[in-house]
Structure 1
Amino acid sequence: MKEQGNAEGSTEEKPEGHQPSWSTRVAQWWQRAWSYSGHERHTVLLIAKSALAATLSWFVAYDLMHAKSPAFAPFSAVLTMQATVYRSLVQSLRYVGAVVVGVAVQAALGLSAGPTLATFALVAVITLAVGRWAPLGSQGTQVSTAAFFAFSTYVSTSTNDTRLEQLQQIVLLVLVGCAIGAAVHILVVPPMRYRNAEYGIRSLAHTLRDLLGDMAPVLREGAPDEDSTAQWRRRADRTDTLISGARSSLRTAEESIHFNPRSRLPGHRGHTSFQGYAVVLEALVRTLYQMASLTRSLDRWHGEESGYEYLPFLRSYAGFLDALGKCAAVLADLDESRLPSQAKELCRLADEAQQQRQALAEEAVARGLPLTDPSQPYGELVVEATRLMEECNNCCDALRSWAED
């Protein structure tokens, strides 16, 4: 089924207006989850699979193993449920390693020094320090957590043999929970997030298209006022969060094919590389950085100097931004199933944008604008247009090469 929706972590601004009721929002959320594969459906599946893995782990730990601390198993099973199978396996290994280290430290100090307050303090210091070890990543805190639970189990028993047996059982329960969680994650609708890369590109392209669409009409009327240029500059400078989200979405897409049995199915076999997505994404990132530079140039100038007929130049610049906006609109609707036709359309629009860029450069020369005067913005604006055009051509080349692969 075709996936739709926005990239996870995207922060597109919503227009203000009438807010639907709570019940309406819930109904809409479930409608999206039922209708197509997107963030909502991923959330439902993750919750359902986590509940299944936790239930199976509890059954094994409590009913079959008769463990005294059965909660370790379902807790471990739920912890393995990550956005991708690859990430789940990596986090599971780190978690098991953290638990083993924590329990081992507690066992060594407990057997040698006894279950005293001083021993607990020493366990805390050592495990908290070990937990900062970089290879453990986000699971580093589990070293001290496991040690504290192990210490609690240790002091509740009377003999060393029983204590060792209980500590071993904690490690075994963690292994059981992780194994069940990983098995459920892999065998029950393993997550395929390759479309996340597509969503990341769309979110950046939407932002670029909207900014270009707002700037062009104002420039067509003449020099923009300070409020307009300040707003454009703020919007262009706030794209860092979107860029980080798009790159994260690309990484998630790349991870989703590793160790995933669904990646071998006919509908997913072509998704072994995301180089095309990466090239287009980085070209869009550079374009947004150039837009930030352009808005800063406009914000430093508001057409107050006299002696130059700059209005025709600004109208030509507006035409160039309109042409770029059409290119961004193609990427805002990027769909891998329509890639060849979209690549052809983007390259056609890029040629039109190149003609507009040449027209504005000729307009600047025809009007005698001081392109080499650093105190005037015209030369800088022409350079910014050239750089934006280069990145547009990079997007076109990347998309065309991607479609031909």
Structure 2
Amino acid sequence: MVDADRHEGDGSAPTRADDTDHPGLAAAAARLRDRAVVALRDRLRRVRAIGGLAVQAGLAAALSWLVVKEVLHISQPVFAPISAVSTLAASVGQRLRRTVELIIGVTVGVLIGDLLLQVTGTGWWQLALIVVLAIVVALFLAGSAAVVIQAGATAVLIATLSPSVRDLEIPRFVDALVGGAVALLVTAVLLPLNPLRVLNRAARPALDLLSAQLDATAGALARHDPAPARAAMAELRQNKDELKALVEATQGAREASTLSPVHWHERHGPVGRYAQAAEPIDRAMRNSGTLIRRSVSLIEDGEPIPEPMPRAVTDLAEAVRLLKRQFAAGDEPKRAREQALRAVCAAGDAYREGVGFSGAVVVAQVRTTVSDLLVATGLTQELANRVVRRAFGELRPPAGARG
């Protein structure tokens, strides 16, 4: 009170504690700070993931320029660095294909441009005609966007620069060849990708998503609460980006282990097993989506939920986590197989205790998903189905079981 009176007397504004300690302002500031931290982490993660590509691109551009300038003595080696960077900008696993596409596109552009220029001369309508024909021929031959772009761009260069730059055709072709070849040399020998690291980086989000949603579904079944299972179902539907990244990573791992002598020995080891797992993991995610959707129906319809059923889904989630860890370590995923079969055993126990219509579907999807995971670990489909049937046990529920 004394302080307040003093402020009133001297005309200054009193200091109020809640001006700086308002709960709403503090909460908003905390949210902004959390978002900033998350955004910073995402950007740093992006830099770590792409930083190696930036170094590869810089080295490939410099080397291709040196080869064309100093070895082949082409006076303006502009297109070689561009071709090198364009090759490296392709998705991991598509770089060899991108090099071939570059060469095809440049060849088409050079041939069409050079032939037509000799017949029609130069001008605006000749330029339009050359570009149209180059793109049409490129589409007919390959149909790839990269081929079309290269053919059209090369046709433009030939039509516009040939009158003033002599012998442009051969240097343009050589530049594309050298740039693509140097890019492959950099990625295969000088700065090769680690295929196992590529796979781990791509598979982790997909497998984390799957295990997290299975855990949420197990909790929903245990508490007879459909809300977490509904949320899990919605989350799992948004898995296209994760699966696309995994498929691209398997292509990149195969390419790296094929082109790079450093990683040749891994083609039939951890990288080979991991690369073959993309398709069965995709199937496991789709079958888990059916499992989760039927879990929602099971709870909402008030069907019986035997105690082993939530345990089966929990065991399935743990099998996915083990698969991720053992793949990342390059180990034979034996523990993941054992854990997956525990899920099948629990599902068999739930079935024999008695389940309803949707409950039977959940049990069946546990079996099917486990079969997918076993194939992902390297088993054949036939062997996976056989061990799943053995682990499940008797198919016929005992007399008097609930239905």
Same fold by TM-score, threshold 0.5 exceeded? yes
Per the alignment, residue 213 of structure 1 pairs with 215
Matched pairs, number: 348
Are the equivalent residues in 1 in contact too, given 2:274–2:327 (CA < 8 A)?
A: no
Letter in 2 for 1:327: A
Flag the 1:400–1:339 CA change in 2: closer, same or farther, 3 A: farther
Per the alignment, residue 283 of structure 1 pairs with 280
Per the alignment, residue 52 of structure 2 pairs with 45
Are the equivalent residues in 2 in contact too, given 1:95–1:142 (CA < 8 A)?
A: yes
2:352 is the alignment partner of 1:362: yes
Q: Give the Cα separation in 1 of the matches to 2:159 and 2:340.
A: 66
Give the number of the structure with larger relative contact order, counting CA–CA contacts within 8 Å between residues 6 or more apart: 1
Structure 2: tracts of 5 or more residues without a match:
1-30, 381-403
Letter in 2 for 1:95: L
Map 1:39-78; keep pairs closer than 5 Å.
Answer: 43-59=50-66, 61=68, 67=74, 69-78=76-85
Are the equivalent residues in 2 in contact too, given 1:229–1:298 (CA < 8 A)?
A: yes
Map 1:6-405; keep pairs closer than 5 Å.
Answer: 18-20=34-36, 25=41, 29=44, 43-59=50-66, 61=68, 67=74, 69-81=76-88, 87-133=94-140, 135=142, 137=144, 138-156=146-164, 162=166, 165-222=167-224, 224-225=225-226, 227-264=227-264, 269-272=265-268, 276-277=273-274, 280-300=277-297, 302-303=299-300, 310=303, 313=305, 315-335=307-327, 337=329, 339-340=331-332, 342-343=333-334, 345-364=335-354, 378-396=356-374, 399=377, 401=379
Q: CA deviation at 1:148?
A: 0.2
Are the equivalent residues in 2 in contact too, given 1:102–1:145 (CA < 8 A)?
A: yes
Q: CA deviation at 1:108?
A: 0.9
Flag the 1:20–1:301 CA change in 2: closer, same or farther, 3 A: same
Q: Give the Cα separation in 1 of the matches to 2:376 and 2:266.
A: 18
Flag the 1:181–1:136 CA change in 2: closer, same or farther, 3 A: farther
Flag the 1:215–1:88 CA change in 2: closer, same or farther, 3 A: closer
Shifted more, 166-175 versus 355-364: the winner is 166-175
Letter in 1 for 2:130: V
Letter in 1 for 2:358: E
Deviations 1:56-96 (A, max 9, x none): 44445557767564322221232232579974343223212
Larger radius of gyration: 2
Are the equivalent residues in 2 in contact too, given 1:212–1:322 (CA < 8 A)?
A: yes
Q: CA deviation at 1:303?
A: 3.8
Q: Give the Cα separation in 2 of the matches to 1:396 and 1:22.
A: 35
Are the equivalent residues in 1 in contact too, given 2:281–2:372 (CA < 8 A)?
A: no
Look up the SS of the partner of 2:253 in the other structure: helix
Deviations 1:21-42 (A, max 9, x none): 599649x93xx7xxxxxx7556
Letter in 2 for 1:391: T
Deviations 1:150-208 (A, max 9, x none): 11112336xxxx4xx23333333333433444444444122232443344444333222
Q: CA deviation at 1:109?
A: 0.9
Paired-residue identity, %: 18
Deviations 1:243-277 (A, max 9, x none): 2322222122112112222124xxxx142365533
Q: TM-score, normalised by structure 1?
A: 0.73
Letter in 2 for 1:19: R
Q: Give the Cα separation in 2 of the matches to 1:258 and 1:186.
A: 9
Q: Give the Cα separation in 2 of the matches to 1:95 and 1:174.
A: 6
Are the equivalent residues in 2 in contact too, given 1:127–1:147 (CA < 8 A)?
A: yes
Flag the 1:173–1:212 CA change in 2: closer, same or farther, 3 A: closer
Q: Give the Cα separation in 2 of the matches to 1:202 and 1:42.
A: 14
Q: Give the Cα separation in 2 of the matches to 1:190 and 1:235.
A: 35
Q: CA deviation at 1:240?
A: 3.2
Q: CA deviation at 1:238?
A: 2.2
Q: CA deviation at 1:105?
A: 1.0
Look up the SS of the partner of 2:259 in the other structure: coil
Look up the SS of the partner of 1:191 in the other structure: coil
Per the alignment, residue 391 of structure 2 pairs with none
Are the equivalent residues in 1 in contact too, given 2:61–2:80 (CA < 8 A)?
A: yes
Look up the SS of the partner of 2:162 in the other structure: helix
Are the equivalent residues in 1 in contact too, given 2:64–2:80 (CA < 8 A)?
A: yes
Look up the SS of the partner of 1:333 in the other structure: helix
Shifted more, 79-88 versus 115-124: the winner is 79-88
Q: Give the Cα separation in 1 of the matches to 2:124 and 2:154.
A: 17
